[in-house]
């Protein structure tokens, strides 16, 4: 399905808890793109205790955004990888501010992005999801297990499912407020550039993925000489 020249180049938008991590895992399998989650990359830096990790840990745990310059450097570094350019990419959790969005389009050039996918879920629903979710401590994939009383292992890498330190009521409210203020306006930004793809994201992960692929296929087939 990916073009002979380069793979799909996608941005994934949506509130915290809208299902970005879950849909990203499916898109990676289906499209062969590189998943670039700024949150996951930053969490790895924190876990490894790097200088960058130590610098951003407090902000992340409080639910505040990391400064644009730091995130931009991380993303520019990832996008410069020739393998990422060839396979295509799925940016998850980036861009989140006007400045990041403008910098991304400048970095990629005017036709460097195929679509910005907007997973739509009401705020009340994501609040409930975030308070009960578990994600893999190693690869960040959300778990689908319903039974919380036992240790749950990741279906992708076998890591243990844990609560994220920023999935506390206070940090959740801060993150959702920041989303409304800073990231929500980017929907209009991408819509004006005819890149926005809205996807109703209520329902099972498979239902959402079907809806998403129905929207995405014509867009991806329309770019370059697509091969399947």
Give the shortest CB-72-to-ligand ADP separation in angstroms. Answer: 9
Return all residues near 82 (Cβ < 8 A) that are at least 6 apart. none
Sheet holding 196-200, edge to edge: 34-37, 89-92, 9-14, 115-120, 196-200
Give the shortest CB-16-to-ligand ADP separation in angstroms. Answer: 3
Give the shortest CB-44-to-Zn ion separation in angstroms. Answer: 12
What proportions of the chain, in percent to the nearest 5, are helix, strand and coil? 50, 15, 35
Distances (CA, A) of 199 to 97, 141, 142, 161, 213: 21, 20, 19, 27, 10
Using rule CB under 5 A, residue 157 touches Zn ion: yes
Catalytic, out of 9, 15, 87, 175: 175
Q: Distance from CA of residue 29 to its chain's centroid?
A: 15
Residue of closest CB approach to ligand ADP: 39
Check if 15 is active-site. Answer: no
Give residues in contact with ligand ADP (CB under 6 A): 16, 38-39, 42, 59-60, 63-66, 71, 93-94, 96, 100, 166, 175
Choices 2-10, 98-106, 151-159, 204-212; region in contact with Zn ion by CB under 5 A: 151-159
Residue with tokens 């989140």: 96
Using rule CB under 5 A, residue 47 touches Zn ion: no
- Do the beta carbons of residue 118 and residue 187 sit within 8 Å? yes
Give the shortest CB-163-to-Zn ion separation in angstroms. Answer: 15
- Active-site residue set: 20, 96, 133, 164, 175
Under the rule (CB under 5 A), what is the footprint of Zn ion?
Answer: 136, 138-139, 141, 154, 156-157, 159
């Amino acid at each position: 399905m990916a073009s002979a020249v380069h793979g799909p180049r996608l941005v994934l938008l949506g509130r915290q808890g809208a299902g970005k991590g879950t849909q990203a895992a499916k898109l990676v399998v289906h499209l062969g793109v590189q998943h670039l989650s700024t949150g996951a990359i930053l969490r790895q830096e924190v876990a490894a205790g790097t200088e960058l990790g130590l610098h951003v840990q407090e902000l992340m745990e409080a639910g505040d955004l990391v400064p644009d310059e730091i995130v931009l450097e991380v993303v520019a570094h990832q996008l410069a990888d020739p393998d990422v350019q060839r396979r295509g990419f799925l940016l998850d959790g980036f861009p989140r501010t006007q400045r990041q969005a403008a910098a991304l389009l400048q970095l990629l050039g005017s036709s460097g992005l195929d679509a910005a996918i907007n997973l739509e879920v009401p705020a009340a629903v994501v609040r409930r999801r975030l308070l009960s979710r578990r994600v893999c401590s190693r690869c960040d994939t959300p778990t689908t297990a319903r039974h919380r009383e036992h240790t749950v292992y990741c279906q992708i890498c076998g890591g243990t499912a844990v609560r994220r330190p920023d999935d506390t009521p206070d940090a959740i409210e801060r993150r959702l407020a920041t989303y409304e203020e800073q990231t929500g306006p980017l929907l209009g930004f991408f819509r004006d550039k005819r890149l926005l793809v809205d996807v109703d994201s209520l329902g099972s992960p498979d239902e959402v993925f079907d809806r998403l692929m129905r929207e995405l296929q014509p867009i991806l087939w329309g770019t370059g000489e697509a091969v399947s």
